[in-house]
Amino acid sequence: MTITRRQLLQQGGAAALLAGIGQHALAQGNAPFETARFITGFAAGGTSDTLCRRVAVKMQPDYGKAVVVENRTGAGGQIAVSYVKGQPADGATILQTPTSILTIYPHIYKKLPYDPLVDLTPVTIACQFDFGFAVGPAVPASVKSVPEFLAWAKANPAGANFGSPAAGSTPHFIGALLGKNVGVDLKHAAYRGTQPAMLDLLGGNVSSVSGPIGDITQHLASGKVRILGVSGAKRNRFAPDVPTFEEQGIKNATHSEWFAFLLPAKASPDVVARANAATRAALAQKDVIDGLATFGLEAMSSTPAELTELLKKD
C-alpha cells in the first residue's frame, strides 16, 4: 500500500491547484451533460447527501448544465449501487458511497447484487470521518460515558438498543462491538440513513445511535442529544471534548471511514479523467471544504488509481 489516508489528506494542497484551473478549463472539449446525477443510497439531510449536494453545485454548468442528487435509499445502500451498476458508463451518473458498502458487505452478505471490484469504476475518494455514539432522552442524564451507558443498558434490557444508518455498515459493527466488550446484547435497529435514526433518538424511540460524527453534532443544539464517545484513534476536532472509545477502555472499536465517487464499470479512461478532474476541483473549493467540515467531514481527493488501491486494501 503506497498511499495512506493521511497522505490523501496532505494532497489537499495539490488538489487545490485544480480549483485554480476552473471548471470551464476542465470541461474544455467536452460538451456539458444536460443533466448529470449523483446517486446516494442514504436519506436527504445526512452526511452522504450533504457531500453530494455541495459537490454537485460546483460542477454546474460546465460538467452538467444541471447536476442533481437522487436519494435511492434502501437495503443499506445496495439499491443505489445496483442502480448505478446498470447505468450507461458515460459519466452522467456518479455513485457516492461509504466504504462499508464496498468493503464490508461482500464479507457479510451471502449474495450481493453487485461486485464492487467488477461493477464499478473508481473516480476519487471524497472525504474521511469518524463515528460517534450518542444517547437521547430515553437514557438518564446521569449517563455521561460509554461504559456508563453499557452498564445502564445491562440493568435496563428494554432500553438496550441502538440505531445505525444500515445493517452491515461500520456504525452497526461499532455498536455491536461496544456491547460485546461488556457482554451486553444491544439490539440493533437499521435505518435508511443516520438522520432517520437521529429523529427516533430525539423522540425517545431508540436509546442510542451509532453514526457519522457530523450527523450527530448537528443535533447537539437541541439539548436532547449527548455524544458519549468517538471512534477515531484520537479525539475528533469537531467534538474535541468527547473522549475516544479507547480512552474509555473500549478495545477493538477504533474505526474511521471514507466516502468516494465511482462510475459504472467500463467507463473509458477519458470519461473517468473528466469526472475525476471535475469532482476534485469541486472538493478543493474552500467553501466546500469548510461546508463539509460543519458536518464532521475532512475533504480529500485522489487519483482513480489511488482509490482503486485503497478499495482493494480495505
Q: How far is the C-alpha of 105 from the C-alpha of 86, rounded, in Å?
A: 19
- Tell me what pLDDT residue 309 has: 95
- Tell me what pLDDT residue 29 has: 57
CB 239 within 8 A of CB 217: yes
20 residue type, one letter: G
The least confident of 14-18, 111-115, 156-160, 292-296 is 14-18
Classify residue 305 as exposed, middle or buried by CB count within 10 Å of its CB (0-12, 13-18, 19+). Answer: exposed
- Tell me what pLDDT residue 2 has: 35
pTM of the predicted model over 0.85: no
- Tell me what pLDDT residue 70 has: 98
* Residue 126, number of CB atoms within 10 A of its CB: 28
Reading the block at residue 217, the C-alpha cell is 453534532
Alpha-carbon dihedral 5, 195, 42, 159, rounded to 10 degrees: 90
- Tell me what pLDDT residue 297 has: 94
Average pLDDT of the chain to the nearest whole number:
90
- Tell me what pLDDT residue 239 has: 93
Model confidence band, residue 4 (pLDDT cutoffs 50, 70, 90): low
The least confident of 24-33, 86-95, 279-288 is 24-33
Q: Quick one: average pLDDT of 261-277?
A: 97
Classify residue 17 as exposed, middle or buried by CB count within 10 Å of its CB (0-12, 13-18, 19+). Answer: exposed
pLDDT at 7 over 60: no
Q: How far is the C-alpha of 242 from the C-alpha of 135, rounded, in Å?
A: 13
Instruction: List, in sequence order, the alpha helices (H) in 86-140.
Output: 99-103, 105-108
DSSP string covering 220-287: GGGSS-EEEEE-SSS--TTSTTSPBTGGGT--S---EEEEEEEEETT--HHHHHHHHHHHHHHHTSHH
Q: Quick one: average pLDDT of 100-125?
A: 94
